[in-house]
Structure 1
Amino acid sequence: MNQLLFERSTGAVSAQAFARLQTSRFVQAIQPAPRLRFDGGEKEVLPEADGNGDGGDDDGPSAPASRPKIWAHQAGANALAIDVDNRLLLSGGVDSSIKLWNLEECPNVAEHTFKPAAALSRKASAHRFGITHLSFYPFDSKAFLSSSYDHHLKLFATETQTVSADFDLNSIIYTHALSPIASHLLVACATQHQTLRLVDLRSGSSTHSLAGHQGALLSTAWSPRLEHVLASGGIDGTVRLWDVRKSSGALGILDMEDSTGIVGTDGMGRSARSRNVGKSHSAAVNGLTWTGDGCYIISAGHDNRVRVWDAATGSNTLASFGPTLKNSHLSNLPLIVCPTSSVTPKNEVLFYPNEKELLMFELHQGRLLKRLKVPGPNIAAVRSRNGERNVKNRITGVLWRGQADGVYSSHSDGQIRAWLPKTAEEMAIEREEDDTKKRPVDDTEEEQRKRQVLDNVYRDLTRQKISFG
């Protein structure tokens, strides 16, 4: 580190290169931050105490009254979104509630419990069923979108928490996407219907549909470089590319058997032979994202595979991520890649939600960098308006905050968890503080008593007169 600082001060390393090296180091140092908690204010329904007064395991569904449990959403958290300033966090629940959190509430504090800055209950949000996806307007934080299992896409005003527009698509909306760069306001919706639905926020209508998939769509994502290009994945195992300016919209299919690709004059294969057949995965595709520079597409499927595609040619780069992946839930799988501009070239890190753990991979080599275990039980008890039920605890949403401000995730046990970069020294200090807090008071008194006995023995020995014959 000292050598790097010296090279930066002498000009041997540019400011941009220095920032990238530092950010890469922070990404590698990401660890769980259990002291940052999110309390949605929902009270725990405590079980009746037994004859021994034992309420059960602290981490289980029967926590004792002295240790009330904290949830972001007691019925389970389904989705997360962060605004363009990396300041406001949105979370959506299984009970259709939506909550807004101010992440700048505790700058540079290692331990804090967040409270919602605003909250929309089930009645206020106007959604009847669970939230499937949330997203802020890409250019400011004054509006956000929510989609739900109740077939509705809604536009909210962030400040007043009121509904500005409501679109009924007559089909379950698994996810939606807004272009981060486009001047148009088209929202792509992946629904239970086999066509990709486009909603125009400017005109307030569903403009048209993109047909080609054979079955429901589970994922969609806009290119961060070409404002009219987007990708979609469905249960038919295909990833399709679209250009919304074309009448048919279709650009072609990504084929997992093709490692060469199709080269076109415009860099997207549109002026060359198009590919209309092939499979991207051997099972449903429910995860889809682009790298920040728009050069690569990442897809994940129920075949427990992740594939990296060259966006310019459509070729499979053959990156192998090993046999550790798990993916079987019929919902959108959130995939995130650290920003291309913030790390050294070709060293992007993919964060993959592997049910009860967050896996970090080298994107282009597929090498596993770190396994971050999610604390808590594998089966969690959650409460909704229908009563208490047990659910399999899994990661339901993941997002990246800023350049090196860590990762936040939502979980089916109702928690929102933070994963922040930590140095070895910071981790050692936290472990020492935890050990001090966990040390029983009786042990401390016992140590003091033993120390007092030794002091008395020492004093008695020094008082004795010693003679040498």
Structure 2
Amino acid sequence: MATTISYGEKNSGLQAGVVHGNVTIVQSETLNQECLRDLYATNPVDDKERIKNDKGGLLKDSYRWILDNKEFKQWQDSERNRLLWIRGDPGKGKTMLLCGVIEELTGLYGDNSSISFFFCQATDSRINSATSVLRGLIYLLVEKHPSLLHYVRARYDSAGKTLFEDVNAWNVLSTIFRDILNDPILQMTYLESSANLQIKWVVSSRNWPEITERFDIAAQLAPVSLELNEVSVSEAVNRFIQHKSHGLAKSKRYSDKTRDAVQRYLSANSQGTFLWVALVCQNLEKIRTHVLKKLKLFPSGLDALYGRMIDQVRELEDVELCKEILVIMLSVFRPITLHELTSLIQLPDDDDDDYVPLEVIIAICGSFLTLREGTVMFVYQSAKEYLLKEAFGVIFHGGIETEHNVIFSRSLDVIYKILQRDITNIKFSGRHTKYFRVPSPNLLAPVEYACLYWVDHLYACKYNATCRLSLKNREALDTFLQRKYLNWLEALSILGSLSDGIRAMKKLEGLIQEEIESVSLLEQVRDATRFIQYHRTGIENSPLQVYCSPLVFSLSKSLTRRAFQKERLYWVLKYPIVEKDWSACLQTLEGHSNEVTSIAWSRDGSRLASGSWDNTVRIWDPATGQTISTLKGHSSWVASIAWSRDGSRLASGSYDKIVRIWDPATGQTMSTLEGHSSWVTSIAWSRDGSRLASGSDDKIVQIWDPATGQISSTLEGHIRIWDPATGQTMSTLEGHSYWVRSIAWSRDGSRLASGSNDKTVRIWDPATSQTICTLIGHSKTVTSIAWSPDGSRLASGSWDNTVRIWDPATGQTISTLKGHSSWVTSITWSQDGSQLVSGSDDKTVRIWDPATGQISSTLEGHSNEVTLIAWSRDRSRLASGSNDKTIRIWDPATAPISSTLQGYSNRVTSIAWLQDGSRLASCSDDKTVRIWDTSTGQTISTLEGHSNEVTSIAWSRDGSRLASGSYDKTVRIWDPATAPISSTLEGHSNRLTSIAWSRDGSRLASGSDDHTVRIWDPATGQILSTLHTDLTSFLRSDTACFNRVYTSVGIFDANSVPLVTPMSDNFTQLERGGYGLSDDRSWITFKGLNLLWLPSEYRPASTGCFAIHATTIAIACSSKRVFFLELSTSSSIPSL
């Protein structure tokens, strides 16, 4: 007997069972390969070979001297010298020296050593950052020892490729690197300190003061200065000169006399610099005649040689084009591809007599530039530095700001020319980025740089007169915002750079704000920024949603929505009524899979943390809405979080009774504080960060020393104020009539606010223990409170789904912020008081502008959550049920309420219209079914018999029978005229969620939480077939044909389902069709595929709040609104 465990692509989780016989375990390498592929930025082994080839090969005689060097030998043999630092000026041969050292060590130790290395290059964006170094070092170690990959996988499996690319990549990779060095394979070594003599470090650098300062304090250092080893370096350079001159003599057929003269000149003028020799020899390769005469034109010294190279450029026939290329390469923010350069430069047409291919021009500039794997970059960093410092006037005629303005203008030009709707042929609006590949040729290749950096170039030239004039004239930006903005957002989504787009728009907004004459442009940019922030999640995951959801759900007065009316979808026949103006909600942060319980700003406002019932803490970039990192470790709900004042630590308290202190930069747990006997509900740092207080359901406050993890003191005890030094109660505040849920000190400590289950907020004077004022306005429990930094405002969140802002001096409500679709769990102010953040049970975090934010609804009238909706057959009326215990009947054409049905003592769970609309049936948590006269609003009859809550009801077409489903797992069929039960259908193993009659009344379908739909013969009570499907709380047969069954997840064809016996276990997986709702309720689907993304406030409160009549969809939101959407009747999948 053995336990089998298997994973499958179609399975939602782990499967376990018992089998007899042998067990074969097959481990897939797919995830390991994906992880290694995403870790890969470059293979340092390939870089080393490229460097050697670029420099003409590795000459052993040019580096042998280092092997006999005193400091090198100390580093190699001594226990005290662990770090070898090779330093020298540009061109002294540091890179090739390291290539030689690597090859010598590899040959000496072979497989008995793990040599990992990395070559940085400032002109190559792939390999010019600290993060790139770590990725390269880890990559080589993992390739050598594949078992080490599990250290990377531990973080990669939850984060994916962004682990190696986001703002925390350096810190996270540093932690992974330390863990790898601590592995037994590498003999228990550490990055900073290690007793293991097998781990040695070699670093090379320039003689820059900032680098020297850091190495001067390093322990176990063996420094090698190339300048102090001038004799050895000069001898190595001479051997290099001998090698190069013999090579030239062979390839250019020099005489012995010419060869010797070249060698003497190079030796006399090289000044011990390899790079000078290499550059001169590179130029000699192009000279065919009068070699010695032209050789003397190359001056001694690197700077002088660069000056000569500039003179050569000025002598070229294509000098202006070559200079233009150099100027662009000096101005761009990263190396650019040949495709990108083509779009930023003005080239003659292909058929022009003056046309020269761009590759040829770059080759002419070859002493400065090189083309490597399609990317243009500077050959040497020192050449770029020389051009910026010494040749600035020669290269930049109008200054670098003028060039930035040129690149800005050309970037917008290429965006306008190239970008178009569905540029990569995705076709379907809901297709996720992970399910398609950019086709070849890549139409985005020429425009990628322009898309990412056009605003940066505009910002870099903001003091340029021409640039300022273009801002005032507005034409270029107007054209972009009104014609190409959606195309740009689509491109950014495909490039995985939508967050960069948000940053760019905010940067543009700040820039235009300085231009007083551009008020209308500022309004347009602000609207475009809100547009991208509001719809970020939908667009980021599915690029073509930019032409769908934002144009359906953006506010009606949105300038961006109005500008793109021509893009409206042909398959949306009737658009919902939406708000007129942007609400106070600046951004909605989505990512948690359960209720958000707590939120906290970092002191500088650059980060926002949130805790959730999904057991995680997330750290967000509030500017873009992007998740920076997800902190995992708690085994139960996270109830409270708090930043230390300096932002270097984040504490979280959980229902697992533990407080964790995290390093927010790496996402690692710094310490775990255990001592509470029940869940931790609240935590707070002392101002200096030396103490951490935690409150628990065990009625105890613990004060911890976060450095040691030890408890400093325990406070036991209405609201109590404690002296943390002594642990004594200073005062007790009494007054609330129910539980106190939240407390908050004003910044100056002169006032204390408390929120309670009695629906009030109280402000106290802690010195006298007296209530200063009581704030009344919430209709439910107050869950969270927070003072503004200046103490002039107090915010409170409640179970009534709202946030209220109060004037604590008067006790009056300043504003009420509405938008959450479930209760508010936590609130916090930004440091400057300009923003307020709220977390909610609707799984979202919202950022508000507390100074504004009126919000209107489509259909308003219920005083509590709308839980269900149902159309009359002729679609002239819509009924809605609510937790306010009423049913309201609406005229959807005009929005007013035609009647309100009252009488329930509990919430309404389901409603159903009779075919002619004269009667309405409803059921409730009170276990009854009611039949109403819709013209008078009076109850006709009350049907009793279920032993638990009634969840769903349905009329037969002729109105002679009414079926009801219940939590008691049964379906009951009633005679509505006489009220008795005609039959009870039993067979489901879990509660009923939905029921529907066939058109002729010969069959009845029921859906249940047991993941089945059962089809019954209502005359006999027998099960005709059992269908296996997802949970569905909406079930209706087509009025024209029972073969189609409407559910909340789509339309199913029952014709394809074979009949089975009532006891059969043969379940059939149905194929979805028509319009439906995704499992997470965030998408309207078509044939099971995502079609239209729903912003959080437009999502149904539950699957029961989603109703379809033919192609018209009605959704009731938790915000007490109902909206309608009419879609195309086409049977094919709607596309763009």
Query: Which TM class, normalised by the smaller chain length?
Result: 0.5 to 0.7
Q: Per the alignment, do residues 57 and 194 of structure 1 end up closer, same or farther by CA in structure 2, a change over 3 Å counting?
A: closer
Q: CA deviation at 1:240?
A: 1.7
| Partner of residue 222 from structure 1, selected from 993, 997, 1008 | 997
Q: Which has the larger radius of gyration?
A: 2
CA distance change for structure 1 residues 395 and 308 in 2, over 3 Å: closer, same or farther?
closer
Contact 1:188 1:197 in 2 (8 A): yes
> 1:49–1:74: structure 2 CA closer, same or farther, 3 Å change rule?
same
Q: Which amino acid aligns with 2:908?
A: I
Work out whether 1:130 is the aligned partner of 2:907: yes
Aligned to 1:239: 1013
Deviations 1:162-183 (A, max 9, x none): 1001012332111011123xx3
Query: Which residue pairs with 1:145 in the alignment?
Result: 921
| Structure of greater relative contact order (alpha carbons < 8 Å, 6+ residues apart) | 1
What amino acid does structure 1 have at the position aligned with 2:919?
A: A
Conserved? CA contact 2:804–2:817, under 8 Å: no
Which of 153, 158, 171 matches 2:948? 171
For 1:59, the equivalent position in structure 2 comes to: 819
Cα distance, 1:29 vs. partner?
A: 4.9
CA distance in 1, matches of 2:967, 2:1035: 17
- Matched with 1:290 is 1037
The separation in 1 between residues aligned to 2:944 and 2:889, in whole angstroms, is 24
> Is the contact between residue 969 and residue 991 of structure 2 (CA under 8 Å) also seen in structure 1?
yes
Displacement after TM superposition at 1:155 (Å): 0.6
Q: Are residues 394 and 176 of structure 1, via their aligned partners in 2, closer, same or farther at CA, if it must alter by over 3 Å?
A: closer
Separation of aligned partners in 1, 2:1074 and 2:574: 12
Contact 1:200 1:206 (C-alpha < 8 Å) held by counterparts: yes
Classify 1:166/1:243 alpha carbon distance in 2 versus 1 (closer, same or farther; 3 Å). same
Question: Are 2:1027 and 1:251 aligned?
Answer: no
CA distance in 1, matches of 2:807, 2:1035: 49
CA distance in 1 between counterparts of 2:959 and 2:874 reads 21
Change beyond 3 A, Cα 1:87–1:56: closer
Question: What amino acid does structure 2 have at the position aligned with 1:397?
Answer: C
Q: Which amino acid aligns with 1:241?
A: I
Kindly provide the CA deviation profile for residues 306-352 of structure 1, in whole angstroms up to 9, marking residues without a partner as x: 7835336438886667xxxxxxxxxxxxxxxxxxxxxxxxxx62221
Distance in 2 (alpha carbons) for counterparts of 1:68 and 1:30: 22
* Contact in 2 for aligned 1:355/1:395 (Cα 8 Å): no
Per-residue CA deviation, residues 36-92 of structure 1 (Å, 9 max, x unaligned), is 9xxxxxx99794633698536563579889837654423100111222221111111
Q: Distance in 2 between matches of 1:85 and 1:306?
A: 22
**Which consecutive unaligned segments of at least 5 residues does structure 2 have?**
1-568, 581-776, 780-802, 825-847, 1060-1066, 1129-1136
Runs of 4+ that moved beyond 6 A: 43-46, 61-66
Partner residue in 1 for 2:1058: 314
- Within the candidate set 923, 941, 963, 1:188 is matched to 963
What secondary structure is seen at the aligned counterpart in 2 of 1:253? strand
1:34 aligns with 2:578: yes
Q: CA–CA distance in 2 between the matches of 1:116 and 1:96?
A: 16
**Secondary structure at the counterpart of residue 103 of structure 1:** coil
Distance 1:298 1:143, change over 3 A: closer
1:118 aligns with 2:899: yes
Q: 2:1107 aligns with which of 386, 399, 402?
A: 399
Residues 250 and 68 of structure 1: is their aligned pair in 2 closer, same or farther, counting only changes over 3 Å?
Answer: closer
Q: Residues 360 and 312 (structure 1 numbering): CA distance in 2 closer, same or farther, change over 3 Å? A: closer
Q: Tell me which residue corresponds to 2:501.
A: none
Q: 1:293 Cα shift?
A: 1.9
Shift in CA distance, 32/308, structure 1 to aligned 2, threshold 3 Å: same
Q: CA deviation at 1:361?
A: 1.1
Match of 1:311, SS state, is helix
SS in structure 1 at match of 2:1094:
strand
Partner of 1:350: 1075
In 1, are the aligned partners of 2:965 and 2:993 still within 8 Å (CA)? yes
User: In 2, Cα distance between the equivalents of 1:101 and 1:51?
Assistant: 40
Given candidates 367, 376, 379, the residue that maps to 2:1089 is 367
Structure 1 pair 150/212, CA: closer, same or farther in 2 (3 Å)?
A: same
Kept in 1: contact 2:918–2:934 (CA 8 A):
yes
Contact 2:1105 2:1116 in 1 (8 A): yes
Q: Does the Cα contact within 8 Å between 2:1097 and 2:1117 map onto a contact in 1?
A: no
Aligned amino acid, residue 1006 of structure 2: S
CA contact (8 A) 1:288 1:297 kept: yes
Q: 1:66 to 1:360 in 2, by over 3 A?
A: closer
Equivalent residue, structure 1, for 2:891: 102
1:146 shift after superposition: 0.9
Residue 397 and residue 251 in structure 1: after superposition, are their counterparts in 2 closer, same or farther (change >3 A)?
same
Aligned partners of 2:965 and 2:1079: how far apart in 1?
22
| C-alpha contact (below 8 Å) 1:355/1:393 kept by paired residues | no
After TM superposition, give the deviation of residue 295 of structure 1 in Å: 1.5
Change (3 A) 1:238 1:47: closer
Distance 1:208 1:28 in 2: 43
Structure-1 separation of matches of 2:1051 and 2:934: 36
Structure 1 residue 286, shift from structure 2 partner: 4.0
Q: Can you give the 5+ residue segments of structure 1 that lack an aligned partner in the other structure? A: 1-24, 37-42, 106-113, 255-279, 322-347, 379-391, 423-469
TM-score, L = length of structure 1? 0.55
User: What's the offset of the Cα at 1:287?
Assistant: 4.5
Question: Which protein is richer in strand relative to its size?
Answer: 1
Change (3 A) 1:314 1:285: farther
Q: Residue in 1 aligned with 2:76? A: none
Asked if structure 2 preserves the Cα contact closer than 8 Å seen for 1:44 and 1:69, the reply is no
Question: Which amino acid in 2 is paired with 1:357?
Answer: S
Q: CA deviation at 1:368?
A: 3.0
Matched, 1:408 2:952: no
Q: Is the 8 A contact 1:175 1:219 kept in 2?
A: yes
Q: Helix, strand or coil for the counterpart of 2:1105?
A: strand
2:1125 aligned with 1:419, yes or no? yes
- The SS at the match of 1:193 is coil
Change (3 A) 1:320 1:215: closer
Counterparts in 2 of 1:128 and 1:236: CA distance versus 1, 3 Å: same
Give the one of 847, 857, 865 matched to 1:76: 865
Question: Cα deviations across residues 406-440 of structure 1 (Å, max 9, x unaligned)?
Answer: 42211223211222459xxxxxxxxxxxxxxxxxx
Task: Normalising by structure 2, report the TM-score.
Answer: 0.24
CA 1:238/1:354 → structure 2, altered by over 3 Å: closer, same or farther?
closer
**1:89–1:102 contact (8 Å) kept in structure 2:** yes
Contact 1:357 1:374 in 2 (8 A): yes
Aligned-CA RMSD value: 3.7
- Structure 2 partner of 1:340: none
Please list the CA deviations of residues 253-279 of structure 1 after superposition, one character each: whole Å capped at 9, or x if unmatched: 23xxxxxxxxxxxxxxxxxxxxxxxxx
Partner of 2:807: 50
Tell me the amino acid that sits aligned with residue 1023 of structure 2.
A
Give the C-alpha shift of residue 127 in structure 1. 1.2
Contact 2:919–2:932 (Cα < 8 Å) also in 1: yes
Whether the 8 Å CA contact 1:298–1:309 is kept in 2: the answer is: no
Shift in Å at residue 207 of structure 1? 1.3
What is the Cα deviation at residue 239 of structure 1? Answer: 2.2
CA distance in 2, matches of 1:238, 1:355: 19
Deviations 1:197-256 (A, max 9, x none): 1111122211110122223222211113x322011122333322111222x4332323xx
2:1094 aligned partner, one-letter code: L
Q: Secondary structure at the match of 1:375?
A: helix
Measured in 2, the distance between the counterparts of 1:237 and 1:68 equals 39
| Contact 2:909-2:951 within 8 A present in 1 as well | yes
